[in-house]
Structure 1
């Protein structure tokens, strides 16, 4: 009884000493707080919101519309850093905005949630994966910081064979994700699907729209696969977001991206998991790309270093 009273008093002290503008981190051990044991971060590379959630009838994303009954969508989610592929992915994984080179020749400056989770838990590298259609995203498994470089690196399966060998179709990446889940049951997976971005850069409008539709199907396919596996069912959170959007028509159109126009900055946050709200659309909270890292860490009970984001508290039950 004395211990219970002591814990209660300590909890009150933690809360009372916290600035009103700060997010209160979890005080209770994560294993007693959240049902989530695994997180899949699926990054759809470069769609504009005007062709996804803001399209009049949302006809290009019917699966997400249907899955919203199981999940939560933030309508005003932003990338407030560099609106390019590698910096956007790095921001989501490290919680720090950096203008790193976009060609895969520069490591992020700070360790990712994957590296920090591997160090904190002592798990084997096969329990954290980066599986991407773009080979240049292999740099996400490391960082430049001296105490972390070359250490606690997650497993990678990027592009055709990795190591700068080129891009591959998203269908191949989805198959790789499913195989890795079945073989290794990793607790963290970061996925990149690139076909939307590739068709955009090719100025192929029909291919761009078709890729958005196929990606929407892939999201449901991965979610269904999660629910089919005992290691994942009812204990896995899936977060769907974007590295960047695309230019508004008034800023040059869908073929390119990379500036601070709202078309490039406005991105998706859609998520499903045992600890999140269901059938919910959130339009408040001022949430952004680097907040994904802090939210993942909160669910997994990882004490983050370096990250500048906040926990996306409005999505929790």
Structure 2
């Protein structure tokens, strides 16, 4: 269902969008960073590397010994910690992690497409839109929670989105949204780049592109971090992509390596922000993915409507207001459509009230009512 159906209805909804808000009460969160690592399976997140894929025939791995030394351990808890050490040390102890199906935690998409544009729309707008059925570069008619927040005085000029994928500016609707958006192999969205940003622009222009639509994650991380340091946004979306690209390429070694790199980027961002007065003990991180993938020796590479299991994904939360419940087990199902409202609720805003067909905020992630 699109957000707007007619100009009159749109005007009425816009009034609601701008007016709706929740009493922040005792919320400590003043800033939120939403991070995605595209197509990273829940299997790797919760059980680490799969032995059956660390080989040439099924995983495209030529440096088997090196990958096994880095990522293989006998116990799944040890494997996942080797792959995502910061994630499991920090989110696993001080935050909440959803999606381990083997332990009764279901985290799923609600759209039926099981690929990226529908997934990012669901994450950012809070609902599945059946009209979005391709990854075509078409401006999204749906408002995202990022744009909804940006249109509020408290967040105007304090929202930004950086993604490795060149379709993201269309998903967020850069022409309409009014805040900086970077997507794919394009210069950073600063009209007066500093020395580091200019170097990044040169590298982006001069580097041979392994994938024309997807900038290298390391460039994306540096661009996002520099925007954070220069402009100090209150709400930021950062979308990494190599975990999906290497999955499609059938390179399990590079998939593991890129997932491990994202974990390091998350750690550096968290530590950087905790060293800054604006962000220290006032910032929540949300990490998730746009879709799952299949299982087995072949379908780990794939996702889409026909791939069983690609509807299963994961999400994690870390911040001063989220109870430290760690890895959730035997809990209620959560959905991708709930991320937008949860993000807003952590900032004291009621997105679900403004957009009733969005998913409700995940109550367990919010402070316990007294």
Please give the range of the TM-score, normalised by the shorter of the 2 chains. Answer: 0.7 to 0.9
State the shift of 1:288 in Å. 0.4
The answer as to 2:174 corresponding to 1:128 is no
* 1:271 equivalent among 310, 317, 320: 317
Where in structure 1 are there 5+ consecutive unaligned residues?
1-25, 144-149
Contact 1:130 1:140 in 2 (8 A): no
CA deviation string 1:4-54 (max 9, x = no partner):
xxxxxxxxxxxxxxxxxxxxxx99621x33111111100010011111213
Tell me what 2:95 maps to: 71
Shift in alpha-carbon separation, 1:104–1:238, aligned structure 2, 3 A: farther
Instruction: From the superposition, tell whether residues 45 and 33 of structure 1 become closer, same or farther in structure 2 (CA, over 3 Å).
Output: same
Q: Which residue of 1 aligns with 2:135?
A: 103
1:62 corresponds, among 85, 92, 106, to: 85
Deviates more, 1:194-203 or 1:44-53: 44-53
**Are the equivalent residues in 2 in contact too, given 1:73–1:281 (CA < 8 A)?**
yes
Q: How many residue pairs end up in the alignment?
A: 283
1:154 to 170, 179, 201: 179
Report if aligned partners of 2:42, 2:312 keep a CA contact under 8 Å in 1.
Answer: yes
| 1:29 matched to 2:61 | no
Deviation at 1:173, TM superposition (A): 1.1
Q: Is the 8 A contact 1:107 1:142 kept in 2?
A: yes
TM-score, length of structure 1 as denominator length: 0.82
Match in the other structure for 1:312: 362
CA contact (8 A) 1:80 1:289 kept: yes
Q: CA-atom RMSD, angstroms?
A: 2.4
Residue 32 (structure 2) pairs with residue 39 (structure 1): yes
- TM-score, scaled to structure 2: 0.71
CA distance in 1, matches of 2:147, 2:364: 26
- Name the stretch that deviates more: 182-191 or 61-70: 61-70
- 1:245-264 alignment, distance < 5 Å: 245-249=292-296, 252-259=298-305, 261=307, 263-264=309-310
Q: Which residue of 1 aligns with 2:125?
A: 94
Listed as ranges, the matches of 1:186-205 within 5 Å are: 186-205=233-252
- 8 Å Cα contact 1:98-1:109 kept in structure 2: no
Q: Distance in 1 between matches of 2:306 and 2:277?
A: 43
Out of 148, 159, 168, the residue aligned to residue 215 of structure 2 is 168
Structure 2 equivalent of residue 177 of structure 1 = 224
